[in-house]
Amino acid sequence: MAELVEAGASLRSARLRISAALWRRPWLKLGLLLAAPVLAFAVVYLGALVSLFVSAFWQIDAFTAAVIHKWTLDNFKTLWNDHTYWRITGRTIGIAAAVTVTDAVLAFPLAYFMARLATPRLRALLFIAVLLPLWSSYLVRIYAWRTILAKDGALNWFLNGIGLPDTGLAYTNTAMWIVFSYVWLPFMVLPVYAALERIPDSYLEASQDLGAKGSRTLRSVILPLALPGIVAGSIFTFSLTLGDFITPALVGGAGSSFIGNVVHDKVGQPDIPFAAAFATVPVVVMGIYLLIARRLGAFDAV
Amino acid sequence: METRSTRIGLGVATVAVIAFLWLPLLLIMAYAFNSSTIQSWPISGFTLHWFHQAWHDPEARSSLWLSIKVGLAATAVALVLGTAAAAAIYRFRFFGREAVSFLLLLPIALPGIITGMSLNSAFNFAGVRFSIWTIVVGHATFCVVIVYNNVLARLRRSSPSLLEASMDLGADGWQTFRFVVWPVLSTALVAGGLLAFALSFDEAIVTTFTAGAQTTLPIYILDHIQRGQDLPVVNAIVFVVILVTVIPVTIAQRLTGDTGVLRRGASRTKV
């Protein structure tokens, strides 16, 4: 019994010594905490990223498909000289921009209602209503639209019901635009809501007192203050569309390839160097976009 | 402040946008009960047959099982690494602190295809054979951030003087952890874990690049949609997948107030 007590006491004193030692040497504690996550990320993730972009300057052997580690700009030259890749890049960026504008237009009234008109209870409910689609499976949501837009899907059924003809939207660029706008909409609603919620009522009252009509207040007070939130949301809608390949594959048509589809096919061939070279395009576009977004104050918004 | 007509207009727009968000989900859930094998609207009758069929489909079963295993493993890795990183970032000011938090955010800031491709080529390069573990590594990269954000948000709301008080009262590190830190963090960990699991459970893009011959549930669904095969069974599975992702998110939302679940969105903007 006495030994047990003694053992317990010495265990406790050992633990206290360890705590004290760590307390005196905070760098040791920091090192212990950071070693695992930083090593894992630096080695696995960053290592993989760097090796990918290095491989963009390599090539594969035409016969054996083995990667040749010889520096060359050939992949980029092919990209530059082939009109197909320009068209695909243009399509990808164009649809990403259209989706961003559409989401901003759809998100604004909802975010405004949530931030300024809804009662706390209703606001909580709307929050859930926006969050659940955001977290529910992205694949499932694209699939849902594939069935809706199909020839005998719900959309044509509805249109026929009110006396209109079939749309024939299935497997077109328009279908992609609708589905992307749908899938990323919650990403726009949340930051716009956050920006609108922060506008003090007194600003709107001041605008009114100074004789501004509703539309003038919207244009000169609300929109400028909401802009950082809209830009923050647009980072998601734009970047997520740029990198996607599943939506074009499931709801796009024969001429609907995105950068992501080409990259995906090339990885499957396998021609990793060319895939890596083309993948630098969305990364560079996103980099430029982020610089502009920073200028517009998107990073202070959320 | 807003005029009556503005209020009505905004209300109508809100209802319309919420309907736009929800109708497709409800519609695809209805298809799970379609008695016909033809995918057309309106569904022709009610049946539970496809759930039975899906449950006994060996391929669906094995991919469900794989998704659960991957989700649990990725969540476990994320809990350990994410919590450690959050604690370090919260407690210390050090050189490279910003770089560390930026590094953790990269996997969700960059498009999934970049993460997937780079891991794919790195695994190939290092001669690692594709297996369940390569999928786990892929998922863990973006699950860590979710836990990290939840834990960090919780830590920032709690006072550091709690730790000092505990030490002053003679508690050792373990006791401080057990009686002070753990009660503060536990719900944030549960919420972060649930969200990480939900994210891993429906991930398709990174998985297509890091899986070998194995099929996770989203890959199974994607394959069958593309080939138009066994769609009624897929519909039943899709119904279950929606529930499996919605339930953890609702619980996580309850546990963290309204900020925790938002982190997925918020973390993406802080690039």
CB contact under 8 A, B261 and A131: yes
- The pTM score is 0.82
In 3-state terms chain B splits into helix, strand, coil percentages (rounded to 5) of 75, 0, 20
* Partner residue opposite B122 with nearest CB, options A38, A48, A113: A48
Rounded Cα distance, B110 and B94, in Å = 26
**A2 to chain B, closest Cα gap in Å:** 23
CA A245 from chain centre, in angstroms, equals 13
Contacts with B242 (C-beta within 8 Å, 6 or more apart), sequence order? A136, A137, A140, B25, B28, B29
**A15 to chain B, closest Cα gap in Å:** 6
Which has more pLDDT, A121 or B253?
A: A121
Give residue B265's pLDDT.
Answer: 43
Q: Which of A92-96, B125-129, B223-227 has the highest mean pLDDT?
A: A92-96
**A180 to chain B, closest Cα gap in Å:** 12
Give which of B33, B41, B217 to mutate to test A binding, by max A Cβ within 10 Å: B41
Q: Is B181 on the interface with A (CB under 8 A)?
A: no
Give residue A4's pLDDT.
Answer: 67
* Partner residue opposite A139 with nearest CB, options B109, B204, B266: B204
Torsion of CA B195, B196, B197, B199, to 10 degrees: 90
CB contact under 8 A, B80 and A36: yes
Helix (H, G, I), strand (E, B) or coil at B34: strand
Helix (H, G, I), strand (E, B) or coil at A59: strand
Could you report the predicted ipTM of this complex, rounded to two decimals?
Answer: 0.82
Is pLDDT of A26 > 60? yes
Give residue B20's pLDDT.
Answer: 94
In percent, the amount of chain A with pLDDT more than 70 equals 95
Least confident of A76-85, A283-292, B8-17, B95-104: B95-104
Give residue A2's pLDDT.
Answer: 66
CB contact under 8 A, B114 and A40: no
Count of pairs with CB atoms under 8 A, one residue in A, one in B: 282
What's the mean pLDDT in B32-40? Answer: 81
